[in-house]
Amino acid sequence: MTKSTAHTANSDAPKKDDISHRLYEDVLALLLGTMVVSLGVTLYSESVLVTGSTAGAALLIEHATGFSFGVIFFVINLPFYWLAYKRMGKAFTIKTFVAVGLVSIFSKLTPMMVDFTMLNPVYAAVAGGALMGIGLLMLFRHRAGLGGINILALYLQEHFGIRAGYVQLAIDMIILIIAFLTLPFDKVLLSILGAVVLNLIIAINHRPGRYLAAR
């Protein structure tokens, strides 16, 4: 291997500083990331929109039954922690459990602290999708997720090199198609727009070999 080739290989390899974080950095990322996600969820809940993954399923159930999003979101994520522990490691599972719990709590508290007297549904779709994408990106980069499909997407990216954003986008489209059965047509179209914004943010910014969500 020539000197220039070795330099290129070393520059492309992930550095320890890129993927390791101190405890206080992880704590701040979990708090801020889940707060940002919860604000996006609130925009969607107020506008009767849905997103993908387990959050989308929870929103659909909330719209259909009136039950609290936070409780639904926490419960439907419970079956996925076994996969997270077996495939992604103990640290990832603990952080993800904490993140899901925080989103469940913040999604309940946010509407009590923010009042929308006028909320344009197009803005809610784009801004809500962007907020959730940014929040998820913060969590991914600190080896955490929001359970459910996030765990599966991160596992496929880490072990097979498939972009997490593309995996989520495909599954999210399936969930949004199901939403046609329960929501008005225009709401589903706006939800699809938001899902595209969310997953493009993740696909563009979260690449294989960087910030791997593992042990």
pLDDT, tens digit, for every residue of 20-31?
A: 778 888 899 999
- Answer yes or no: is pLDDT of 156 > 90: no
Q: Is residue 1 part of a domain?
A: no
Q: Is residue 14 part of a domain?
A: no
Predicted local confidence at residue 208, as pLDDT: 57
Share of the chain above pLDDT 90, in %: 30
Q: Is residue 2 part of a domain?
A: no
Write out the residue range of the structural domain in which residue 118 sits: 22-205
Cβ pair 101, 37 in contact under 8 A: no
CA–CA dist 156, 146 (Å, integer): 15
Least confident segment among 75-79, 81-85, 121-125, 184-188: 81-85
Least confident segment among 61-70, 124-133, 185-194: 61-70
Predicted local confidence at residue 52, as pLDDT: 77
- Answer yes or no: is pLDDT of 215 > 50: no
Q: Is residue 189 part of a domain?
A: yes
- Answer yes or no: is pLDDT of 178 > 50: yes
Predicted local confidence at residue 147, as pLDDT: 75
Q: Count of alpha carbons within 13 Å of 78, Cβ hemisphere only?
A: 6
Q: Is residue 57 part of a domain?
A: yes
Q: Is residue 102 part of a domain?
A: yes
Highest mean pLDDT range out of 16-25, 31-40, 114-123, 146-155? 31-40
CA–CA dist 155, 61 (Å, integer): 26
Instruction: Find the mean pLDDT for residues 150-163.
Output: 77
Least confident segment among 14-23, 130-139, 195-204: 14-23
Predicted local confidence at residue 125, as pLDDT: 95
In this structure, what token pair is assigned to residue 106? 């913040």
Cβ pair 69, 62 in contact under 8 A: yes
pLDDT band, very low/low/confident/very high, at 64 (cuts 50, 70, 90): confident
- Give the start-end residues of each E strand in the chain: none
Q: Is residue 76 part of a domain?
A: yes
165-191 core/surface letters (b: 16 or more CB in 10 A; e: else): bbbbbebbeebbeebeeebeeebbebb
Q: How far is CA 62 from CA 8, 9, 15, 49, 84, in A?
A: 51, 49, 43, 11, 25
Q: Is residue 15 part of a domain?
A: no
Query: pLDDT of 76-95, one tens digit each?
Result: 888 778 878 877 788 888 99
CA–CA dist 157, 110 (Å, integer): 32
- Average pLDDT of the chain is 81
Predicted local confidence at residue 187, as pLDDT: 92
Domain count, the chain: 1
Least confident segment among 29-38, 72-81, 119-128, 184-193: 72-81
Predicted local confidence at residue 193, as pLDDT: 92
Instruction: Find the mean pLDDT for residues 182-206.
Output: 88
Cβ pair 26, 142 in contact under 8 A: yes
